[in-house]
């Protein structure tokens, strides 16, 4: 009986002593933490995707409170999230058109030729090191799915040898743009504006040998764009989305049909746009 | 003195907690993916193992043993180690921010880890003196670090490999761990030839 009492007493004393030490420590050694850090963490998307460039949502919240990061970096949270963060921080929300990832390559297996049969490590980063990857096009998608692995939202998939973004699921965190060894994934504003789905900087005849879905740098889109929004540099067209109005003339003029709409319908529906859009999706 | 070094090195090579005694497998598999996190975790383990031994040894020797309460060892040790780690975390956050930033994330992970508790209890199984117990704890910590750092290298190679679908992830990691563990069995005779004492 005595041993039981002694055991109970000793464990209780040790427990109480420990509790007292922790309570005292929490009281006297408390470190002031800005309550806004917790509030901001609560309104963020909470996916810990790292798209903002910080280690996680809590890390980003801390950076916002310390004034090191802007309020609108949380792409998965969207405009509502940046407005909530801005109101906690007491500043006006900066609004912008939301962006979605876009793979600037449409060279699927039936369109783009293969230089050799790659049987190494199943990773774009590894495949890209073997003479630039198995694809005949040195600029195009390798299709080993490094971007698929990087996506936290299941929004990007390799379909028929080329990565395709599901623009409904994509949150615009841009994690995939970082891992792509070919740097062909870019952030396109979610507007009714066309996209050039090719990154090949070779001259026209070389592109034609490599891939049937390549931009040959014919300049037709640049010449016909009423807004001057398209420029062809290094034999590949690029669209300035600040100038583009989404008229869709370029989608009609492009002889290789590598410019087309991916977000919504064009404002003035061109004849070619409908089938092209199906292809994109 | 030779005895202390014997204990220290035998804890690293012959009686390695992770690879020979199979304690602390959860942080071993969980945090060994990257070299820097494996290293940070190991530093925290060394720190906590030595401090936990420093506190639990007097507790057992002067309070539990004289009263015949040896059987309370496990529950009291867990209680004390948990309080200690929490206290260290608060203390570091307040006074040593640099150390807190590098160790802070790992401290709660090893609050009542089996290898920390294992060190404290095995010190009494082996009937070590206070100094011997501290050396044993430090050796166990460094042994943990050696295993973690080595295994993070192994995992880097395993990640680049393309194993069959059913082996991907944890299974192939466990196979790799067992092979690493096998290699540590080769150290069995080394302590005898260096110190002239059977391990």
CB atoms within 10 A of CB B129: 13
Of the candidates A174, A172, A122, A184, which has an alpha carbon nearest to the alpha carbon of residue A150?
A174
- pLDDT of residue A172 exceeding 60, the answer is yes
pLDDT digits (tens, 9 = 90+) for A174-223: 888 888 999 999 888 888 888 888 998 888 888 888 888 889 988 889 98
- pLDDT of residue A271 exceeding 60, the answer is no
pLDDT band at B197 (very low <50, low <70, confident <90, very high): low
Q: How many CB pairs under 8 A join A and B?
A: 51
**How close, in Å, is residue A253 to chain B by CA atoms?**
45
**pLDDT value, residue B133:** 92
The mean pLDDT of chain A is: 82
**How close, in Å, is residue A134 to chain B by CA atoms?**
18
Reported ipTM: the value is 0.72
**pLDDT value, residue A96:** 65
**pLDDT value, residue A187:** 87
pLDDT band at B149 (very low <50, low <70, confident <90, very high): very high
Chain B residues close to A31, C-beta within 8 Å? 93-94
**How close, in Å, is residue B160 to chain A by CA atoms?**
7
The pTM of the full predicted model, rounded to 2 decimals, is 0.60
Mean pLDDT of A110-119: 87
Chain B residues close to A26, C-beta within 8 Å? 90
pLDDT digits (tens, 9 = 90+) for A66-97: 877 777 778 788 778 888 888 888 776 555 67
pLDDT digits (tens, 9 = 90+) for A21-57: 989 988 887 777 778 888 888 888 877 777 777 777 8
Mean pLDDT of A158-168: 88
Q: For residues A193 and A111, is the Cβ–Cβ distance under 8 A?
A: no
Where on the phi/psi map is residue A132: left (φ > 0), alpha (ψ -120 to 50), or beta? Answer: left
Whole-angstrom Cα distance, residue B85 to residue B52?
9
Hey, which bits of B17-123 come out as E strands?
none
Question: Maximum Cα–Cα distance for chain A, whole Å?
Answer: 99
pLDDT digits (tens, 9 = 90+) for A250-267: 888 888 888 888 766 544
Q: For residues B53 and B123, is the Cβ–Cβ distance under 8 A?
A: yes
- pLDDT of residue B198 exceeding 60, the answer is no
Domain ranges of chain A: 35-89, 99-280
- pLDDT of residue A277 exceeding 50, the answer is no
Statement: A99-280 belongs to CATH 3.30.70.1150: no
Where on the phi/psi map is residue A232: left (φ > 0), alpha (ψ -120 to 50), or beta? Answer: beta
**pLDDT value, residue B160:** 81
- Nearest-by-CA chain B residue for A31: B94
Task: Return the CATH architecture of domain A35-89.
Answer: Orthogonal Bundle (1.10)
- Nearest-by-CA chain B residue for A125: B160
- Nearest-by-CA chain A residue for B74: A11
pLDDT band at B98 (very low <50, low <70, confident <90, very high): confident
Mean pLDDT of A228-253: 88
The mean pLDDT of chain B is: 84
Whole-angstrom Cα distance, residue B123 to residue B132?
8
């Amino acid at each position: 009986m005595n041993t039981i009492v002694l055991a109970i007493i000793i464990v209780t004393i040790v427990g109480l002593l420990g509790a007292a030490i922790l309570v005292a420590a929490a009281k006297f050694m408390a470190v002031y933490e800005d309550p806004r850090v917790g509030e901001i963490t609560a309104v963020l998307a909470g996916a810990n995707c790292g798209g903002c460039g910080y280690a996680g949502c809590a890390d980003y919240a801390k950076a916002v409170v310390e004034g090191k990061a802007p309020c609108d970096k949380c792409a998965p949270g969207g405009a509502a999230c940046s407005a909530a963060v801005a109101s906690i921080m007491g500043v006006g929300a900066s609004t912008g058109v939301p962006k979605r990832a876009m793979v600037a390559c449409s060279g699927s297996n039936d369109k783009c030729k293969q230089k050799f049969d790659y049987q190494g490590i199943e990773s774009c980063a590894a495949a890209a090191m073997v003479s630039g990857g198995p694809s005949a096009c040195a600029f195009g998608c390798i299709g080993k799915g490094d971007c698929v692995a990087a996506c936290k939202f299941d929004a990007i998939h390799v379909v028929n040898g080329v990565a395709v973004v599901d623009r409904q699921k994509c949150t615009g965190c841009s994690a995939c743009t970082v891992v792509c060894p070919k740097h062909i994934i870019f952030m396109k504003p979610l507007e009714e504006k066309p996209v050039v789905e090719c990154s090949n900087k070779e001259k026209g005849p070389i592109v034609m040998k490599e891939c049937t879905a390549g931009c040959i740098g014919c300049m037709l889109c640049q010449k016909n764009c009423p807004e001057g929004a398209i420029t062809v540099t290094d034999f590949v067209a690029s669209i300035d989305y600040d100038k583009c109005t989404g008229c869709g003339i370029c989608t009609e003029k492009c002889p290789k049909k590598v410019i087309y709409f991916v977000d919504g319908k064009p404002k003035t529906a061109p004849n070619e746009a409908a089938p092209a859009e199906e292809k994109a999706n | 003195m030779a005895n202390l070094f014997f204990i220290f090195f035998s804890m690293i090579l012959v009686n390695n907690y992770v690879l020979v005694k199979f304690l602390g497998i959860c942080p071993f598999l969980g945090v060994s993916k990257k070299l820097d996190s494996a290293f940070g975790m190991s530093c925290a383990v060394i720190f906590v193992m030595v401090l936990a031994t420093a506190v639990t040894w007097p507790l057992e020797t002067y309070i539990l043993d004289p009263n015949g309460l040896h059987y309370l060892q496990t529950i009291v040790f867990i209680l004390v180690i948990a309080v200690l780690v929490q206290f260290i975390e608060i203390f570091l956050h307040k006074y040593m921010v640099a150390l807190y930033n590098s160790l802070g994330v790992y401290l709660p992970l090893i609050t009542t880890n089996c290898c920390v508790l294992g060190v404290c209890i095995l010190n009494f199984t082996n009937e070590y003196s206070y100094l011997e117990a501290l050396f044993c704890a430090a050796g166990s910590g460094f042994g943990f670090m050696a295993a973690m750092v080595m295994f993070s290298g192994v995992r880097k190679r395993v990640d680049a490999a393309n194993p069959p679908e059913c082996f991907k992830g944890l299974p192939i990691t466990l196979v790799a761990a067992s092979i690493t563990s096998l290699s540590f069995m080769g150290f069995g005779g080394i302590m005898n030839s260096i110190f002239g004492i059977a391990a």
